[in-house]
């Protein structure tokens, strides 16, 4: 520790420069973590809010677009209720629409069709609960766009009108648009493109997107899906069926992976150069009796101090910048766990890079200090 601290103080400009690079990487990690969490929340927060453990989609449906392509019979809910380990099941509808309020506020909605008296129906924190065929409950984020309780919403070119009965607590979004809960029959008519006053074909009420399932952790969903002729996805697996979810998260994870690799390489390269420059001093220390273990421990402690301090500064700046970004419309959210995980990974990979670099200390010959190389 003594030599490590003394060298950090003596060559501070060199270490400040290196620390600045690590701090910049840490800032990027915080911002990417916040952006990743924000995009996930904006894409699937509505699904996270549902009291379900899995969804039963159409058999052999494409899993990356199940919500937009799946069609199942609402009667399948009864079949799922009879499956061992399943507590309850209910039909669930999902479709994306464009709408406009009677105050000329344009709004995109992800309509979730549920039976008003089922366990899937949410409780409104502002306004009335879901009741009647023409009532819709919206995410609280819709209020920020200017929608108010009592507004009339017209769905696209269908002309179907819905009355905003209330708002839900917290963020309820799907595919980066606000969610609107409405009665299942109304949802079925909207999905089928039935205009007000038109005769509704009988088959319209025989189709829903999926069966929402609430089951025990030990329930065999695969066997249940096979027996019911459906495809079962857990709640987490169903996130991949949200529009853009897989592409967004994969891209950000790839960027984060490259940043981790860059950190390890940069720190490793820095300490490689430092070790080469200190070759003569290391040889002197070894000639004086310093063990290889002592020198390695001293240099790695130096690396740890540099990484921890630099990462701490970068995290502080990143959190401050993230707090400012969070107040904008950008999908950004700071959470402790992703930031802590990113910081720990950054430090660990930086230490791995430093360890590989300083291993050349073991090859420094103490005879170099005594002129043995002449």
Using pLDDT thresholds of 50, 70 and 90, give the confidence band for residue 317: very high
pLDDT tens string 124-143: 887 778 878 899 999 988 88
pLDDT at 370: 57
What percent of the chain stands above pLDDT 90? 37
- Asked if pLDDT for residue 284 goes beyond 70, the answer is yes
Q: Where are the beta strands (DSSP E) in the chain?
A: 54-58, 86-101, 106-114, 126-127, 135-139, 152-155, 160-168, 173-174, 177-183, 210-215, 230-234
Does the pLDDT at position 2 exceed 70?
A: no
Domain boundaries, the chain: 2-43+246-370, 47-241
The larger pLDDT score, comparing residue 301 to residue 78, is at 78
Q: Which residues of 22-31 are buried (b: 16+ CB within 10 A; e: fewer)?
A: bbebbbbbbb
pLDDT tens, position by position, 101-114: 988 889 999 999 99
Confidence of residue 57 (pLDDT cuts 50, 70, 90): very high
Q: How far apart are CA 115 and CA 133, in angstroms?
A: 10
């Amino acid at each position: 520790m003594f030599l490590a601290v003394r060298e950090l103080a003596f060559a501070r400009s060199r270490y400040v420069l290196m620390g600045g690079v690590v701090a910049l990487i840490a800032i990027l990690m915080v911002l990417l973590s916040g952006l990743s969490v924000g995009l996930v929340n904006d894409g699937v927060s509505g699904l996270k809010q549902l009291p379900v453990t899995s969804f039963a989609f159409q058999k052999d449906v494409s899993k990356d677009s199940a919500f937009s392509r799946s069609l199942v019979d609402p009667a399948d809910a009864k079949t799922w209720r009879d499956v061992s380990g399943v507590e309850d099941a209910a039909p669930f509808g999902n479709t994306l629409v464009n709408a406009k309020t009677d105050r000329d506020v344009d709004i995109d909605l992800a309509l979730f069709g549920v039976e008003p008296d089922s366990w899937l129906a949410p409780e409104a924190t502002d306004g009335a609960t879901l009741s009647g065929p023409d009532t819709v409950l919206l995410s609280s984020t819709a209020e920020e766009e200017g929608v108010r309780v009592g507004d009339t919403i017209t769905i696209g070119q269908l002309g179907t009108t819905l009355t905003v009965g209330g708002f839900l607590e917290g963020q309820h979004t799907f595919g980066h648009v606000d969610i609107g809960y409405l009665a299942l029959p109304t949802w079925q008519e909207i999905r089928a493109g039935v205009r007000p006053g038109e005769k509704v074909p009988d088959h319209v009420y025989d189709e829903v997107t999926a069966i929402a399932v609430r089951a025990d952790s030990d329930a065999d969903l695969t066997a249940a899906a096979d027996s019911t002729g459906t495809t079962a996805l857990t709640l987490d697996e169903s996130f991949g069926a949200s529009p853009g979810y897989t592409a967004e998260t994969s891209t950000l994870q790839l960027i984060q992976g490259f940043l981790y690799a860059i950190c390890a390489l940069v720190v490793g390269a820095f300490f490689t150069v430092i070790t080469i420059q200190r070759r003569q001093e290391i040889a002197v220390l070894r000639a004086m009796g310093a063990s290889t273990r002592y020198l390695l421990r001293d240099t790695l402690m130096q690396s740890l101090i540099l990484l921890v301090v630099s990462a701490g500064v970068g995290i502080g700046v990143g959190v401050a910048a993230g707090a400012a970004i969070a107040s904008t419309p950008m999908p950004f959210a700071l959470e402790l766990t992703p930031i802590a995980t990113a910081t720990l990974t950054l430090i660990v990979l930086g230490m791995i890079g430093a360890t590989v670099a300083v291993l050349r200390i073991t090859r420094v010959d103490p005879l170099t200090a005594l002129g043995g190389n002449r």
